[in-house]
Amino acid sequence: MSENLERVCAKVYAAEPGIPDSDFVPVFHDWIRRRVIGGVLLDVADYTHVPDGPGVALVGHEFTYSLDRSDGRFGLLVQRRRSTGANTEASIAATLSTLLTAAERLETHRTLKGVIKFDRSVIRIESNDRRRAANNAQGVDLLRAASEAAVRQSFPNAATRVQLVDEDPRNRLALSVSIE
């Protein structure tokens, strides 16, 4: 397979935080001001009025971070926005690493301590490039192999179980990776 899939998303889930989504707006503004996370951070976008949408999003040059419910469950979604010439595994690994860092920063943010705790045992990994990895058997093969390898970089000793999340070929190809 020669396809080089760079545009990917990764998401970790959490229980509903029990605070208004609008409380995340100042958190992300604070991240921009204090450069809490790497990369170029641009602005905060508020989509809390849209049901099952990206919620509050921190838009960056390389990644966008959303407190997302687009698949019906609350979580932190990181979207890799740019092509840099990396291969598929490296792109997923970089996205996972960024996701886990952002999750840790949110959990420990001074205004959110005890409010939010992400479940790192299940990670959703998505292709965001239908040209290179559509929601079909070929796409699944590409994403599954690269995802398993990338997850091993973050969780070296863990066993993984991968499931296709959504078979509607129009939706983004998404895998659920269980880490045991």
Partner 1 sequence: MTKEWKDVLGDRIPSDVADDIDVFENQMQLRKAGKLDEKVFAELRLRRGAYGQRYDNGKRHDGFATRDIPFPRRGLTKGPETEFDAPGMQRIKIPFGKLTAEQLEVLADCAEEYSNGILHITTRQDVQLHFVDIEDTPDMHRRLASVGITTREACGNSVRNVTGCPYAGICRHEAFDISPYADAETRFLLGHRDVQDFGRKFKIAYSGCEADALGCGRAAMHDLGFVAAVRKTDSGDERGFRVVVGGGLGPVPHVAKELYSFLPVSQMLPVSQAIARVYARLGEKRNRNKARIKFLVAQLGIEEFRRLVDAEREILEPDVRWEAFIASTERAPEYLAAPVTATDVGPAPGFEEWARTNIYNPRQPEFVAVLVNLPLGDLTSRQARKLADIVRTYTADSLRTTVDQNLLIRWIHRRDLHAVYNALYDAKLSLNGANTIADVTSCPGTDTCKLGIASSRGLGAELRERLNERRAQHDPIIKDVHIRVSGCPNSCGLHHIGDIGFYGSSRNVGTYKVPHFQVILGGSLENNAANYGLAIGAVPSKRAPETVDRLLGFYAAERTDGESFRGWVTRVGKKNIKGRLEDLMTVPSHDEDPRFYVDWHDAREYSIGDIGIGECAGEVVSLTQFSLATAESKAFDASLIVDDAGANDDEIQRAAQLAYGAMVTAAQGLIKTRDADIKADPSLVFETFKTQFVDSGLFMDRFVGAGQWQYFQNAHEARGTVRDRDEARRRVEEAQLFIEATHACYARLAGARA
Using CB under 8 A as the binding rule, whether residue 2 contacts partner 1 is answered as: yes
Report the residue number, 77 or 151, with the smaller CB distance to partner 1.
Answer: 77
Is residue 3 a contact residue for partner 1 (CB under 8 A)? yes
Total of residues contacting partner 1 (CB under 8 A): 43
Q: Which of 36, 53, 86, 160 binds partner 1 (CB under 8 A)?
A: 53
Q: Is the separation of the CB atoms in 77 and 11 below 8 Å?
A: yes
32 contributes a contact to partner 1 by CB under 8 A: yes
**Nearest CA among 94, 89, 29, 93 for reference residue 63:** 94
**Total residues found in the chain within this entry:** 180
Cα–Cα distance between 102 and 109 in angstroms, integer?
10
Asked if 130 touches partner 1 (CB under 8 A), the answer is yes
The 10 Å Cβ neighbour count of residue 60 is: 22
Helices (H) then strands (E): counts for the chain: 3, 8
Please report, as ranges, the residues that interact with partner 1 according to CB under 8 A.
Answer: 2-4, 7, 22, 25-26, 29-30, 32-33, 40, 42-54, 57, 59, 61, 64, 66, 70, 79, 81-82, 128-132, 168, 170-172
